[in-house]
Amino acid sequence: MAERELEESAGFDRHTIDYIQRAAASGLYEIRGLGAKRRVPNFDDLLFLAASMSRYPLEGYRERCSTKTLLGTRFASKPIELAIPITVAGMSFGALSARVKEALGRAATEVGTSTTTGDGGMTSEERAASKTLVYQCLPSRYGFNPDDLRRADAIEIVIGQGAKPGGGGMLLGQKVNPRVARMRTLPEGVDQRSASRHPDWTGPDDLVIKIKELREITDWEKPIYVKVGATRTFNDVKLAVHAGADVVVVDGMQGGTAATQTVFIEHVGIPTLAALRQAVDALDDLNMRGTVQLVISGGIRSGADVAKALAMGADAVAIGQGVLVALGCNSESYVMDGQHVSARADYTALGTAPGFCHHCHTGKCPVGVTTQDAELERRLEPAVGAKRLKNYLKTLNMELTTVARACGKQDVHHLEKEDLVALTVEAAAMAGVPLAGTSWIPGKAP
Amino acid sequence: MANMNSAAERPATERPAAERSSPVERQGAQPREFDLSRDALRQLNLFLHKDAVRDGVGQVRVHNPDGAHSIACGLNAELDVQIHGHVGYYVAGMNQHASVTVHGNAGPGAAENMMSGRVHVKGFASTAAGASAHGGLLIIDGDASLRCGISLKGADIVVGGSVGSFSAFMAQAGRMVVCGDAEDALGDSLYEAVIYVRGKVRSLGADARYEPMTDADRAALKGLLTAAGRVEDPADFKRVASAKSLYHWHADADQEY
């Protein structure tokens, strides 16, 4: 029978049947890496209006457009000054190799931005390579210590992650090698399950006190960020501000992870677009825009995404998955001794292919990015990775300033919501900008 | 650019106190007094972090703490801090090398994330005492509330009284001694930490189990009790450790996840 005559069920399509049969065979949920694969309203659903009769553009190649970004100006005596508003998101040593962490630090330093530690502590490589390093304080507290706290340039208290708000970290045993185990005080090879709640505080009132403790320990020098996974974002941002955060980081549901249950990745949290608007609304409601800075993350890929995020009210963005892709994630090949070497057979062995791989959790990354295997991690040379990432970040920044100049802005932070329209009703409602060609913002009185 | 080695990769006990002065050098220095009904907390902590080390002050006495939070947190020198009264959250948080004594009760998170040194609460301690502590010795003469020793990472804790529910939850390394009773879910999801408990245990947590006391256990326990100034007999204690059935995912154990 020809396939076109067969009717596939909408409710029980091949994907769903495969899911049910896999569950029936294994009795375990799927765990995987990276972020949501389903399509949700995102920055692609917004457009810039740019200059017109009433808006005066800047010359693209002649007039300056500042990208300088200050973070942590509220209470810290040593705020962070970045050359660009694009930062590297927190990713753990353990999920990533030490060589990758070094590459991230090198690239971030070269373009004048920050990088961030992760669940697993600070490695000497990333501290040495990073001019500006944000040190995460996570529920697990793996490797967390006051010496590294003092060496950090800022502190990020992680409440949640966009890929799995409400869930703790995971690192499967094959990635818990001797060094990772030592840093996390765990037995080698154990399937590590991180805590989902902080051990020594339990709510926003406690967080006020926790933040003050960290300030006391570091003599009020370092900016303190609070990172939340995007869920009840309007309230969470307000609570973070009340708790004393200098910077609030909001991570939307498209954000990545090294390993989490698929049900978490695809079904928990709200899209970055919706979360960003709620976060900005919260800061506006408190009259704290400009006093508390906002960093948005979760599926930021391009300079256009960055520009749209800034126009909606973010002060900076943080990128995780895009950074890994720049390093070579999902590439057909890796570079060794200056030569491109095919990794296709390794993708096949994992049951996947370049462009589709989400097997970070296995530790068998074909291009040496998300691995602790000594042979595989050699596939990412820090200098090569750093150069690729530097190019990526530079490209994003050039795209950002291109759009900003076209909108007539001498500073990318002058981009504003009025510069945006939406392509879909959903995006218009989530972002709070008019549907293109209309003055209609769903949910707002005309 | 910072060019410093990470401390996360060295055991807490091997980490040097960059600024510490020897007790011998400080013998002649007079104790310094702070009265928190008059002096600001910031003033006290800044003194403990910088001036005390620079001036060779060995002992600092704190009066009228009145439940203030974050007293003597972030210390990194062999100081002797005596706090006369009750303290709030996070007393001696992230302590390194110092000896901090609370002549009263302590609020949540006493000695949280301690790396080394000694913290002694003469009264009772609230929730999460010794949370995620990597090293050093925490002594609580009275009872400790919920989640004592949660996420413990190598420190020792001796509780003279009883502990609340979920104590030693996800404790990864280190030892916890409970001279009294333990409430529900003791040692839930333990890794390599060991608990010695003398009294009744309302219930063990997931994957925790009783194990026989060995001569090595009794010797270790005797050392901990002596260090804490206690006289209980090690023969009266039970050992609780991980059954390690949650170390790896498998379908038959899914109810525990």
For residue range B39-62, list pLDDT tens digits in order. Answer: 999 999 999 999 999 999 999 999
Average pLDDT over every residue of B110-116:
98
- List, in sequence order, the alpha helices (H) in A244-381: 262-267, 272-285, 303-312, 321-327, 344-349, 374-377
Q: Is A23 on the interface with B (CB under 8 A)?
A: no
CA distance A371 to A377: 6
| Per-residue confidence in pLDDT tens, chain A, 446 aa | 556 789 999 999 999 999 999 999 988 888 999 999 999 999 999 999 998 888 899 987 789 999 999 999 999 999 999 999 999 999 998 889 989 999 999 999 999 999 999 998 999 988 999 999 999 999 999 999 999 999 999 999 999 999 999 988 778 888 888 888 898 999 888 888 888 999 999 999 999 999 999 999 999 999 999 999 999 999 999 999 999 999 999 999 999 998 899 999 999 999 999 999 999 999 999 999 999 999 999 999 999 999 999 999 999 999 999 999 999 999 999 999 989 999 999 999 999 999 999 999 999 999 999 999 999 999 999 999 999 999 999 999 999 999 999 999 999 999 999 999 999 999 999 999 999 999 999 988 77
Rounded to a whole number, what is the distance in Å from the CA of B164 to chain A's nearest CA?
A: 14
CA torsion through residues A282, A286, A288, A289, sign: positive
The answer to whether the CB atoms of A191 and B249 lie below 8 A apart is yes
Assigned CATH topology for domain A43-329+382-431? TIM Barrel (3.20.20)
The answer to whether the CB atoms of B6 and A27 lie below 8 A apart is no
Rounded to a whole number, what is the distance in Å from the CA of A146 to chain B's nearest CA?
A: 6
CA distance A154 to A195: 23
In a domain, B11, yes or no: no
| Parent domain of B50 | 25-243
Q: Is A217 on the interface with B (CB under 8 A)?
A: yes
Q: Which of B89, B147, B170 sits opposite A213 (nearest CB)?
A: B89
In a domain, B250, yes or no: no
Q: Is B243 on the interface with A (CB under 8 A)?
A: no
Q: How many domains does chain B have?
A: 1
Supply the ipTM of this predicted assembly. Answer: 0.91
Residue B255, CA distances (Å) to A28, A88, B171, B252 in order:
11, 37, 20, 8
CA distance A290 to A313: 10
Q: Which of B89, B127, B251 sits opposite A27 (nearest CB)?
A: B251
The answer to whether the CB atoms of A146 and B134 lie below 8 A apart is no
Position B5 pLDDT exceeds 90: no
Q: What confidence tens digit (pLDDT) does each residue in B154-172 have?
A: 999 999 999 999 999 999 9
Backbone angles phi, psi at A248, to 5 degrees: -110, 130
Q: Is A143 on the interface with B (CB under 8 A)?
A: yes
Q: Is A440 on the interface with B (CB under 8 A)?
A: no
pLDDT > 70: percent of chain B? 86
In a domain, B30, yes or no: yes
What are the beta bridge partners of residue A66?
A411
pLDDT band at B253 (very low <50, low <70, confident <90, very high): low
**CATH number of domain containing B138:** 2.160.20.60
Position B23 pLDDT exceeds 50: no
H or E, element range at A210 = helix A204-217
What are the beta bridge partners of residue A417?
none
For testing contact with chain A, the best of B3, B4, B6, B119 (most A CBs within 10 A): B6
Residue B43 CA from chain centroid, whole number: 25
CA quadruple B91, B96, B98, B100: dihedral, nearest 10? 20
Position B24 pLDDT exceeds 50: no
Exposure string of A382-416, with b = 16+ CB inside 10 Å and e = fewer, is bebbbbbbbebbbebbebbbbbbbbbbbeebbebe
Q: Is B150 on the interface with A (CB under 8 A)?
A: yes
In a domain, B12, yes or no: no
In a domain, B9, yes or no: no
pLDDT in the model for residue B9: 62
Question: Minimal CA–CA distance to B142: which of B167, B122, B158, B156?
Answer: B122
In a domain, B222, yes or no: yes
- The residue among B82 and A180 whose pLDDT is bigger is B82
Q: Is B90 on the interface with A (CB under 8 A)?
A: yes
Q: Which residue of B has its CA nearest to A167?
A: B257
pTM (2 decimals)?
Answer: 0.94
In a domain, B60, yes or no: yes
pLDDT in the model for residue B252: 57
Provide the residue type at B195 as one letter. I
Residue A26, CA distances (Å) to A20, A30, A74, A348 in order:
10, 9, 51, 22
Exposure string of B19-44, with b = 16+ CB inside 10 Å and e = fewer, is ebbeeeebeeeeebebebeeeebeeb
Position B29 pLDDT exceeds 90: no
Position B257 pLDDT exceeds 50: no
H or E, element range at A422 = strand A420-422
Position B13 pLDDT exceeds 50: no
CA distance B34 to A249: 38
Structural domain boundaries in chain A: 43-329+382-431
pLDDT in the model for residue B25: 44
The answer to whether the CB atoms of A182 and B9 lie below 8 A apart is yes
Q: What confidence tens digit (pLDDT) does each residue in B143-152 have?
A: 999 999 999 9
Rounded to a whole number, what is the distance in Å from the CA of A209 to chain B's nearest CA?
A: 7
Q: Which of B94, B150, B153 sits opposite A217 (nearest CB)?
A: B94
Position B118 pLDDT exceeds 90: yes
Position B36 pLDDT exceeds 60: yes
In a domain, B200, yes or no: yes
Average pLDDT over every residue of B6-29:
48
pLDDT in the model for residue A26: 87
Winning range, highest mean pLDDT, from A55-59, B3-7, B179-183: B179-183
